[in-house]
Amino acid sequence: MITGSVLLAVVLGILPSFFANIEVRKGAVVNDWVLAQIPAHNMSLVIFAIIWGMGGLAFYRAARRPSMYVTYVWTYALVMIVRMFTISVVKLDPPAGLIQLTDPLTGIFYGHATITKDLFFSGHTSTLLLIYLTLEKKNDRILGLIAVLAVACLLLVQHVHYTMDIVMAPFFVYPIYRLVKLMLSDEELAS
């Protein structure tokens, strides 16, 4: 628990300078047929209400089952590291019609800067998908899946991400989650 929390704190501490660097570089603009069909609207309030609501539920459940927290914190830290790598390698400019997504709570990790090039793969989708994966109760998981799908759609409506950024998130998050589960089960067997 402590090691995972420290790792996550280090990763979050690096993010402001990482995001400052990616914002000044040139990237490609993707011709996204799906986004071209959707008029852009500001959905920030709804997006963050869902994210923070699900985060609150996950925190409440993890307070009663610390193993959920351990799985979440390790997976989230590794997902963030992989995201930093993919964002560095897949250089993209924001989609046409982007409406800036704003959240005062996470602004501290972004250095209160405008970040628009943290695109491949979607961090918001990844976060909710990870919450969904770590929740254990059936009704929580149903709610979590609805939240993932809703935010994925709302991110497209706001033109925050390309379609590929959202569609690819599960292909990164799920294997990392399974790896962490395997790693943690091995540690439990060793102790």
The pLDDT score that the predictor gives to residue 152 is 98
Contact present, 77 and 4 (Cβ < 8 Å): yes
The pLDDT score that the predictor gives to residue 109 is 57
CA distance 181 to 124: 21
The pLDDT score that the predictor gives to residue 110 is 53
Q: What is the DSSP letter of 107?
A: G
Amino acid at 4: G
Q: What confidence tens digit (pLDDT) does each residue in 70-84 have?
A: 999 999 999 999 999
The pLDDT score that the predictor gives to residue 191 is 46
pTM: 0.90
Q: Which helix (H) or strand (E) holds 71?
A: helix 66-89
Residues of the chain with pLDDT > 90, as a percent, come to 82
How many CB atoms are closer than 10 A to CB 45? 10
Residues of the chain with pLDDT under 50: 111, 189-191
